[in-house]
Amino acid sequence: MSIELRNRFIFGVLFAGLVIAAVAMDVTLQAHYGTAAMALIGVLVGTREYVRLARSHASQATVLPVIVTNVLLVSLPTLELVGGPLSDFARGDGAIAIIGLALGWMLLEQIFRRGPDGIFAHVGVALFGIAYLGIPFLLLQRMAAFPAGGSLLLVFIGAVKCGDITAYFGGKTFGRNKMCPSISPGKTWEGFACSFIGAIGGSYVFMWLPTTWGAAPPFSGWWQPAVWGLVLGPLGVLGDLAESCMKRAAGSKDSGSSMPGFGGMLDVLDALIIAAPAAYLLARVL
């Protein structure tokens, strides 16, 4: 076993244990402290890594407006519990208002600090950072607030990451036909096919896991986890490819060094980000 694979296994088990413990705490206490903390850490570290990559093409892109906006977005579901006008704002059009104010902040900074130079690149990078990180994590936080939402969040993470893992090992074992060699030379169509097996299997395993600590199962039918895995598996692969595309454009192997064995935070979250909106919609209709 290579050193990289060994580190991935050790720290992957550790990270998975922390996530399961956080969700189990929330389910047991009927709270959202664990999921809120995970979302906040993911957004803070992920946004810094994103801006570092983006600065390879927008050298003066600023991190502060993106971090503040993303933190406010992922905090909205927690503010809903406060009560009063602040709660009404969080439940209503709060997210739209926050993004609109952020756009005004970015434009003012651009106008008075840089003028017309690079306006499309710098403002576009900032808005993409909000769409890429802030909105998906806001939706995951809202999903965690659903009935059995903690269990749903765990099934979502389990399905996508199991799909990601089986795509990696399936590609290593059976891979012959490259998917996008110009972006990620290691990705193969055979690995992509294996991601369906992992995502569906992960959905069933992580649907069962919350019942071991007394939580209600997130699904009532046998077919729902299969649909969950069929939809989220390929979206996880797409998320991985999207982040690989950004890293290749930036000339970087990893998004950072914050996650031993994996690289950066975005290298761990990439598969989850693109799949998050679909998971939120599935959670509302299944």
Longest CA span, the chain: 58
For 26-57, write each residue's pLDDT tens digit.
Answer: 888 777 888 888 899 999 999 999 999 998 88
String of DSSP letters for 188-237: EHHHHHHHHHHHHHHHHHHHHGGGGGTPPPS-SSSSHHHHHHHHHHHHHH
Model confidence at 134, in pLDDT bands (50, 70, 90)? very high
Model confidence at 1, in pLDDT bands (50, 70, 90)? low
Query: Is the model's pLDDT at 71 over the cut of 70?
Result: yes
Percent of the chain with pLDDT over 70: 98
Domain boundaries of the chain, sorted by first residue: 32-145, 146-286
The residue among 15, 11, 30, 18 whose CA lies nearest residue 215 is 30
Q: Which residues contact 108 (CB under 8 A, 6 or more apart)?
A: none
Query: Is the model's pLDDT at 80 over the cut of 80?
Result: no
Whole-number pLDDT of residue 67? 94
The residue that leads in pLDDT, 172 or 70, is 70
Mean residue pLDDT of the chain comes to 88
Q: In angstroms, rounded to a whole number, what is the distance separating the alpha carbons of residues 158 and 164? A: 10
pTM of the model: 0.91
Query: Is the model's pLDDT at 6 over the cut of 80?
Result: no
Whole-number pLDDT of residue 202? 93
For 102-115, write each residue's pLDDT tens digit.
Answer: 999 999 999 998 88
For 165-191, write each residue's pLDDT tens digit.
Answer: 999 889 889 988 999 988 988 889 999
- Tell me which amino acid residue 176 is: R
| Range of weakest confidence among 19-33, 58-72, 81-95, 134-148 | 81-95
Place of tokens 């090992």: 169
Query: Is the model's pLDDT at 209 over the cut of 80?
Result: yes
How many other C-beta atoms lie within 10 A of the C-beta of residue 93?
11
The residue among 217, 214, 197, 68 whose CA lies nearest residue 133 is 68
Phi, psi of 18 (to 5 degrees): -65, -40
Query: Is the model's pLDDT at 10 over the cut of 70?
Result: yes
Q: Which residues contact 245 (CB under 8 A, 6 or more apart)?
A: 183
Query: Is the model's pLDDT at 133 over the cut of 90?
Result: yes
Q: Which residues contact 8 (CB under 8 A, 6 or more apart)?
A: 261, 262
User: Two tokens at 133?
Assistant: 């990180």
Query: Is the model's pLDDT at 139 over the cut of 80?
Result: yes
Phi, psi of 183 (to 5 degrees): -105, -50
Query: Is the model's pLDDT at 77 over the cut of 90?
Result: no
